[in-house]
Amino acid sequence: MLITQLKTIEEIKSLAGAKTVIISCEGCKEVHFPAAETKELYKDLKSSGTAQKVVRTEYVCSPENLAVQTKKHLDMIKSADTLVVFSCGVGVQSVSEMFSSKPVFAGCDTIPLPGYQGVTPLEVDCDQCGECYLNSTGGICPIALCSKSLVNGQCGGCKDGKCEVDKEMDCAWERIYKRLEKLELLDNMKYPAKVRNFAP
């Protein structure tokens, strides 16, 4: 079982742009999702003019399902300047892959409990770190997708974009750099490495 908890309203508002679409995953019953708190948060975001639209869906972690569920909202998503995803880290990464031209931010942290992690067929994982790095790294997780789980940048062993530990694996930090460059968010890489709070 996973447990997700909402980030603070102040942090979520700081992530949101003038036109933000919220994608909320309400699929996995194995994941403890703060549904009541989230509904109150949506009301707050809408009343403050932060949230343009809330897309409630299931199994955000499945690209096929995500494509079907967001199809009727594509015009709204395309016109948005940011997407905020309320799900575990797997769902956030799936949305980030599908809408790679948009800044995608996590509205929740995933608490470190071993367990079920959604139904995605992608090479995507969530290490349930507690305080999520995805908001600083363009929706690409350096913990789960770097062989060394480095949080302060590339190790220097990468060659031609591939990891020195696994030659078949793309370097997570090169992917992060390219994504942030595409989104014009390279200043995100100036953040100091977090001292993570693992407490639930």
* Predicted pLDDT of residue 156: 86
Query: What's the structural domain count of the chain?
Result: 1
Q: Is residue 11 part of a domain?
A: yes
79 falls within a domain: yes
132-185 pLDDT, tens digit each? 888 889 999 988 889 898 888 888 888 899 999 998 899 999 999 999 999 999
Cα-only R_g, the chain: 16
The reply to whether 103 falls in a domain is: yes
Is 25 among the domain residues? yes
Is residue 146 in a domain? no
Q: Among residues of the chain, what percentage have pLDDT more than 90?
A: 24
List of long-range contacts for 51-54, beta carbons under 8 Å, 24+ apart: 51/16, 51/20, 51/21, 51/22, 51/84, 52/19, 52/20, 52/21, 52/76, 52/80, 53/21, 53/22, 53/80, 54/21, 54/22, 54/24
Give the domain extent around 72: 2-135
27: left (phi over 0), alpha (psi -120 to 50) or beta: alpha
CB 83 within 8 A of CB 17: no
Is 52 inside a domain boundary? yes
- CATH number of the structural domain spanning residue 82: 3.40.50
Domain presence at residue 39: yes
Question: For residue range 176-190, what is the model confidence (pLDDT) as tens digits?
Answer: 999 999 999 998 887
| 165 in any annotated domain | no
